[in-house]
Amino acid sequence: MIYADNPLHVEIVQTLVPVANEVRIEVRAEEVVDPKREEPEQREQSLIKKCEKILDYIYIAFLILIILGLLAGLCLLLAWMSVPNLFGTEQV
């Protein structure tokens, strides 16, 4: 056996622990149902996740606007290079 060779050996046995959604307490032979409530830490984490998603959408929208602006500038540059008088002439 392993225990004879190494008395400090520990076997890890995985057990499934059920998580209760409701807690039932009997008071004077009547069941009182107390639903499991969210802890404040869980609420904060869900709020943080929502804020992170909103920031991601803002970053994506900002990048799309930058890309569209660069493409529009490139199109105007190419149009100006083909026809220099397209946007008017400069009078000195």
- In this predicted model, what pLDDT tens digit does every residue of 60-88 receive, in sequence order? 999 999 999 999 999 999 998 888 887 77
Contact 33, 24 (CB under 8 A): yes
- In this predicted model, what pLDDT tens digit does every residue of 27-49 receive, in sequence order? 666 665 655 666 667 777 888 89
At residue 5, the 3 state secondary structure works out as helix
